[in-house]
Amino acid sequence: MKLMYSPTSPYVRKAMVLAIERGLDRKIEKVAMTASPITENKALDKVNPLAKVPALELDNGMTLFDSPVICEYLDSKHRGDKVFPASGARRWKALRQQAIGDGILDAALLARYEGFMRPENLRWPDWAAGQKRKFTQALDLLEKEVKDLSGGLTIGHITIACALGYLDFRFGDMGWRTGRPKLAAWYDKFARRKSMQATIPPT
Amino acid sequence: MKLMYSPTSPYVRKAMVLAIERGLDRKIEKVAMTASPITENKALDKVNPLAKVPALELDNGMTLFDSPVICEYLDSKHRGDKVFPASGARRWKALRQQAIGDGILDAALLARYEGFMRPENLRWPDWAAGQKRKFTQALDLLEKEVKDLSGGLTIGHITIACALGYLDFRFGDMGWRTGRPKLAAWYDKFARRKSMQATIPPT
pLDDT tens across B88-114, in order?
A: 999 999 999 999 999 999 999 999 999
Give φ, ψ of B30 to 5 degrees: -85, 130
Mutant choice from A66, A98, A117 vs B, greatest count of B C-beta within 10 A: A66
Residue B5 has pLDDT above 90, yes or no: yes
Q: What is the pLDDT of residue A63?
A: 98
Q: Do B137 and A99 touch (CB under 8 A)?
A: no
Residues 6+ apart with CB under 8 A from B24: B18, B74, B77, B78
Q: Tell me what the mean pLDDT of segment B154-178 comes to.
A: 98
Which residue of B95, B103, B122 is in closest CB contact with A50? B103
Residue A26 has pLDDT above 90, yes or no: yes
Q: What is the interface pTM, i.e. ipTM, of the complex?
A: 0.98
Q: What is the pLDDT of residue B115?
A: 96
Which chain B residues contact residue A123 at CB under 8 A? Answer: 122
Q: What is the pLDDT of residue A18?
A: 98
Q: How far apart are CA B153 and CA B177, in angstroms?
A: 22
Which chain B residues contact residue A107 at CB under 8 A? Answer: 50
Mutant choice from B36, B45, B58, B66 vs A, greatest count of A C-beta within 10 A: B66
Which chain A residues contact residue B99 at CB under 8 A? Answer: 50, 64-66, 69
Q: How far apart are CA B137 and CA B134, in angstroms?
A: 5
- % of chain B with per-residue pLDDT over 70: 100
Q: Do B72 and A95 touch (CB under 8 A)?
A: yes
**A59-67: long-range contacts at Cβ-Cβ below 8 A with a sequence spacing of 24 or more?**
A59/A1, A62/B92, A62/B93, A62/B96, A63/B96, A64/B92, A64/B95, A64/B96, A64/B99, A65/B96, A65/B99, A65/B103, A66/A11, A66/B99, A66/B103, A67/A11, A67/A12, A67/A14, A67/A15, A67/A102
Q: Do B99 and A138 touch (CB under 8 A)?
A: no
Residue A119 has pLDDT above 90, yes or no: yes
Q: Inter-axis angle of helices B125-144 and B88-112, to 10 degrees?
A: 150
Residue A55 has pLDDT above 90, yes or no: yes
SS3 A69: helix
Residue A33 has pLDDT above 90, yes or no: yes
Chain A CA closest to residue B110 = A110
Q: What is the pLDDT of residue B203?
A: 84
**Does the domain made of B88-194 have the CATH classification 3.20.20.70?**
no
- What region, left, alpha or beta, does residue B5 occupy, with left being phi > 0 and alpha being psi -120 to 50 degrees? beta
Q: How far apart are CA A95 and CA A159, in angstroms?
A: 10
Q: What is the pLDDT of residue B103?
A: 98
Which element (helix H / strand E) includes A64?
strand A63-64
Which chain B residues contact residue A47 at CB under 8 A? Answer: none
Whole-angstrom CA distances from B18 to A87, A158, B51, B163 are 19, 29, 22, 14
Residue A82 has pLDDT above 90, yes or no: yes
Q: A88-197 has which CATH code?
A: 1.20.1050.10
- The secondary structure of residue A48, as a DSSP letter, is -
**CATH 1.20.1050.10 domain range(s) in chain B:** 88-194
Which residue of A39, A64, A99 is in closest CB contact with B65? A99
Of the options 3.40.30.10, 3.40.50.620, 3.50.50.60, 3.30.390.10, the CATH number for the domain spanning B2-75: 3.40.30.10
- A154-193 confidence digits (pLDDT tens): 999 999 999 999 999 999 999 999 999 999 999 999 999 9
Mutant choice from A113, A124, A136, A145 vs B, greatest count of B C-beta within 10 A: A124
Average pLDDT score, chain A? 97
**CATH 1.20.1050.10 domain range(s) in chain A:** 88-197
**CATH 3.40.30.10 domain range(s) in chain A:** 2-75
Residue B70 has pLDDT above 90, yes or no: yes
Measured at the CA of B19, the angle between CA B14 and CA B24, to 5 degrees, comes to 165
Q: Do A51 and B100 touch (CB under 8 A)?
A: no
Q: What is the pLDDT of residue A203?
A: 84
Q: Residue A86 carries which side chain, given as an amino acid letter?
A: A
